Amino acid sequence: MVAPRPTAIDDIGLTYVVNIVFIAYKGDMAAEPMLTVKKLVAMTPDLAERIAAFRFEQRINTEAEAIRTLIERGLATAAKKPKADT
């Protein structure tokens, strides 16, 4: 007769199990970039409202993330366009 298999909590303790699960979760996540450069940007109230509307529509957590997303999209679009002759 086989003895019942002990649970992880019985074997090593709940705190250890929680820590291992947390480490595994963090290990599988994509590394987030270090956001160390800060810029102060003045804008019109209309532009601020448009950014807030974009953030709401896209369900973005922070205004800063919405602004970064818009900048990234704008730069990607600009890179695809041919340069104008000067």
Burial class (CB in 10 A: 0-12, 13-18, 19+), 13: exposed
List the domain boundaries for the chain. 8-80
Give every CB contact of residue 9 below 8 A, 6+ residues apart in sequence.
17
Q: How many CA atoms lie within 13 A of 71 on its CB side?
A: 8
Whole-model pTM over 0.75: no
pLDDT at 14 over 80: no
Which is more confidently placed, 60 or 12? 60
Q: How many CA atoms lie within 13 A of 5 on its CB side?
A: 2
pLDDT at 67 over 70: yes
pLDDT at 17 over 90: no
pLDDT at 71 over 60: yes
